[in-house]
Structure 1
Amino acid sequence: MKVQIEENLYIESDAYQFIIREYTARKDGNGPGKIIVHGYFSKLEHAVKHLITMKVKQSTAATLGELQKDVKRIEEYISSKITI
């Protein structure tokens, strides 16, 4: 399985686990880029929760109300990409 979440962010799986990977291009555009592994998870639900946490950490919210709205928006966005 390989599900694209965003432009260069994917949830992938092998026979044993789910993996969150980010593929980055080289700055000079030559050759393969770098693969960043954000985590290995035994359950898809855990991988999804980690994706939500990653996105929440990027929030620019200044109040609890804004943070709550960001969390809800992020959860809905991730859920729209992956149905568990």
Structure 2
Amino acid sequence: MKVHIEGGFYIESDDREFTLKEYSGAIGKPAKGETEGKPIFKTHGHYPTVLGAARKFLNLKIDSSEATNLRELIADVEAIREYIKSQIDF
């Protein structure tokens, strides 16, 4: 499974774990016999649950906040949480 979250962020899974990945914007060199390279992703971690991967995404978004005071940071965190909630509510 590969699920797009936002921007270049994806959660991929296999039978053991969930992986949070971010597309770097680059394409690798083609493998021998191929005409096109594959997109290059940065792995942000492997998690036993999808919730663990979502928490890491939340932390990455918080780390990239440009808030200059506590009120702005809290507003950013709430906006990110609401975005995540809106993506999983049925």
Normalised TM-score (structure 2): 0.79
> What residue is the counterpart of 2:73 in the other structure?
67
> What residue is the counterpart of 1:2 in the other structure?
2
**Match 2:40 to one of 20, 34, 37:** 34
2:86 is equivalent to residue 80 of structure 1 = yes
- Among all aligned residue pairs of Structure 1 and Structure 2, give the percentage whose two residues are the same amino acid: 38
Q: Deviation per CA, 1:29-82, whole angstroms, max 9, x where unpaired? A: x73232210010001111111110000000000111110000000111122223
Q: Is the 8 A contact 1:61 1:70 kept in 2?
A: yes
> What residue is the counterpart of 2:55 in the other structure?
49
Following TM superposition, by how much is the alpha carbon of 1:7 offset from its aligned partner in structure 2, in angstroms?
2.8
Question: Residues of 2 paired with 1:67 and 1:56: CA distance?
Answer: 8
Which structure has the bigger radius of gyration?
Answer: 2
> What residue is the counterpart of 1:12 in the other structure?
12
Ranges of 4+ aligned residues in structure 1 off by more than 3 Å: none
Partner SS state of residue 53, structure 2: helix
* Aligned length, in residue pairs: 81
The root-mean-square deviation of aligned C-alpha atoms, in Å, is 1.7
Q: Deviation per CA, 1:9-41, whole angstroms, max 9, x where unpaired? A: 1011100000001123327xx732322100100
